[in-house]
Chain A
């Protein structure tokens, strides 16, 4: 289904999509998207949505299955509390992406803003993943409780990542391609070298990632990665007295 969204408010647009999904439509192409919020929000079916234009905030909020491809930049709050599915952005994205993300994949070609992946979670095999090809702002992986985040810095912009990386982190893992200065790190994380298992794990995701955006896989993998994990599963366990 092709929809020309020029001048359309998000409410009728999302209603058309919801109704069409309910009646079995599997693929959407949205043209002239300009800031409409909540696209793909709350959808539970594995449909495909191609977005031509810049979608508004909360793209894929509470989403549980669809695959969304954005052929432009995207704004704040992408994959907010997303449970399953895939979002691929051929551009840069704004702040607080992947907040409380519970599953699925969020692949970004370029840069990400502040507070990426706050309080991402995981349970057993349900592990969310965020990969950004460029740089990211402050509070990358704040309160992280699970999941995988990879930052590549392919555009060699500086700084690669902002301050307070992994502040309050108590689960999950962050891989950053390049050097992260200790003063950029939150005090709850420790830096490790990659093991063979790590390389295998991120290699699988990065292969897929490179296919989406046309990056050279070998070049991506040739970089030196830093692995960040929480120092403790209970960073604040000793802060309280009963």
Chain B
């Protein structure tokens, strides 16, 4: 069937500037630029990944949204019309990548942070000690000491974080080995963690395993006793913010020989994770898997349970903690993905800000907040989001998309095609080679270093010298432009109200 779909972008080449070096042709992994006497773009294939424009030595390429106006309709937006055309031509579920781009309210941007003035002194973070260190793991209800004042309480396993920002779970399969290496190296250098996601651990990043959370998802790809023991912590993935309630989906385009080996599935097949873990249909079953992992790791690794933020998240989180998890990982509806049906990504789940506030409050009310650390992700975009999340009650944040952007990602949302021009969300050797793990690791370290300094600046202005002093300190946040109900759920006052 001939497609009626118009091009999404328009690629323009300034032939006055172009010196026909063909670098753009070589760099475009979507086949959108050819050379026929001169550089000739095929705008229909362009995804706006900016690879050509970035590498054009003459800055001769511009990419704009295709300036094709539609008859105005507030209801029938061009995007909706284009989706209908696509489905009328194919009969397929629309697959997409990255996080939810829809203009739902972003609560982070409606919260403001307090600062010290006159009556309480602020701290200068450049010249005074300022601690970002925190520990993930279950904390005891109380501490007991023997007669020599040595700690007598047996502590649950803890993972030390030098900065309260962890790299999010992104599987080897969804992203390349070079991207995994960069994340592992950066996590090791910065004293934080990366997360394998559900695709297993490649031998080449095993040396960094002290700084790696290994994931156990419903497909159980790459999960062995060795895998569980070579880790900083183990995470049971129940859900993902971008696609709550549905399983993982690694399109066959990305399942080459090496992925086939780590996942133990045939080459070219779609790697399908079942929607639920078929051995988990209840909190009791979840507990069974948590303790299966604890038995296998001799109770030496904290066990995390990751869920998508959904309506009943607070009650579910309470069950997770009672089931024996040491860490609860909450992923908001804006979280990223390598591949998800658009209908799920754009319409299912709840914002992480509200989920976090609800979970922290519920665990406090039940007196079990100390029994698990809370990690949150699902669109942490900047250091301010980290500070606000911790003030709402998180122990630390996870960043996925932000870390990919740091490595070069342009958020073109085409991860599922396996054609990532930046060597990140691809398994094609010629593209993977484009991402230098050393350089990408430097970029990730720079990002965390910058955010770390910014968090210290904010802590200083708040007059506190440790990130742990901020945790759950909602009094230091105020809401702007939020309805009372949202303020109540967030547990914050409206701006303008004093103590």
**Interface residues of A, Cβ cutoff 8 Å to B:** 10-11, 14, 18, 37-38, 41-44, 57-58, 61-64, 76-77, 80-81, 83, 96, 99-100, 102, 115, 118-119, 121-123, 126, 142-143, 145-146, 168, 170-171, 233-242
Contacts and interface: CB of A to CB of B under 8 A. Distances in A.
Interface string B365-406: 000000000000000000000000000000000000000000
A239 B416 CA distance: 14
Interface in B252-306: 252, 260-261, 263-266, 268-270, 272, 274, 278-279, 288, 291-292, 295-298
B92 interface: yes
B417 interface: yes
A171 B252 CA distance: 13
Contacts of A62: 223-225, 228, 292, 296
Contacts of A142: 274, 278
B220 A38 contact: no
A64 B278 contact: no
A153 B426 CA distance: 46
B226 interface: yes
A100 B296 contact: no
B290 to A, nearest CB: 11
Q: Which 8 pairs, one residue from A and one from B, show the smallest C-beta to C-beta distance?
A: A42-B296, A100-B220, A241-B92, A121-B264, A241-B90, A42-B225, A240-B95, A233-B269
Contact of A171 (B89, B218, B265, B416): B265
Nearest to A119: B219
Given A168-B272, A236-B272, A146 B279 contact: no
A80 B296 contact: no
A37 B291 contact: yes
A81 B220 CA distance: 7
B279 A77 contact: yes
Contacts of A42: 225, 228-229, 295-297
B274 A234 contact: no
Given A234-B268, A242-B416, 19 more contacts: A37-B291, A38-B291, A61-B296, A62-B223, A62-B225, A62-B228, A80-B292, A81-B220, A96-B279, A99-B220, A102-B220, A119-B218, A142-B278, A146-B266, A170-B265, A170-B269, A236-B272, A240-B94, A241-B90
A161 B84 CA distance: 42
B59 interface: no
Given A42-B297, A170-B269, A83 B225 contact: yes
Contacts of A57: 288
B93 interface: yes
A14 B264 contact: no
A41 B272 contact: no
Nearest to A114: B278
B229 to A, nearest CB: 8
Contact of B265 (A77, A80, A96, A146): A146
Nearest to B417: A242
Contact of A126 (B228, B264, B417): B264
A123 B264 contact: yes
B292 A242 contact: no
Contacts of A76: 279
Given A41-B292, A77-B288, A83 B265 contact: no
Contacts of B261: 123
Nearest to A65: B225
B266 A171 contact: yes
B223 A234 contact: no
A145 B264 CA distance: 8
B469 interface: no
- Chain B interface category by residue count: 35 or more
A81 B222 CA distance: 9
Interface in B390-447: 414, 416-417
B270 A236 contact: yes
Contacts of B224: 62, 64, 81, 83, 102
A181 B383 CA distance: 60
A41 B75 CA distance: 57
Given A99-B279, A100-B220, A170-B266, A241 B292 contact: no
Contacts of A64: 224-226
Nearest to B260: A123
B322 interface: no
A81 B234 CA distance: 15
26 contacts: A37-B292, A42-B295, A42-B296, A43-B225, A44-B225, A62-B224, A62-B292, A100-B219, A102-B220, A102-B264, A118-B278, A119-B220, A123-B264, A143-B274, A145-B266, A168-B274, A170-B265, A234-B268, A234-B269, A236-B272, A239-B92, A240-B93, A241-B89, A241-B90, A241-B91, A242-B95
B45 to A, nearest CB: 12
With most chain A CB atoms within 10 A of its CB, the pick from B94, B95, B221, B224 is: B224
Contacts of B91: 241
A54 to B, nearest CB: 16
Contacts of A233: 252, 266, 268-269
B416 A18 contact: no
Contact of A121 (B265, B279, B416, B417): B265
Contacts of B269: 145, 170-171, 233-234
A143 B288 contact: no
B453 interface: no
Contacts of A240: 92-95, 251, 341
Contact of B279 (A80, A83, A236): A80
Contacts of A238: 92
A54 B265 CA distance: 33
B87 interface: yes
Contacts of A61: 292, 295-296
Contacts of A118: 274, 278
A241 B279 contact: no
B160 interface: no
Contacts of A38: 291-292, 295-296
Contacts of B414: 242
B231 to A, nearest CB: 13
B51 interface: no
A38 B287 CA distance: 13
B202 interface: no
B343 to A, nearest CB: 12
B86 interface: yes
B174 to A, nearest CB: 16
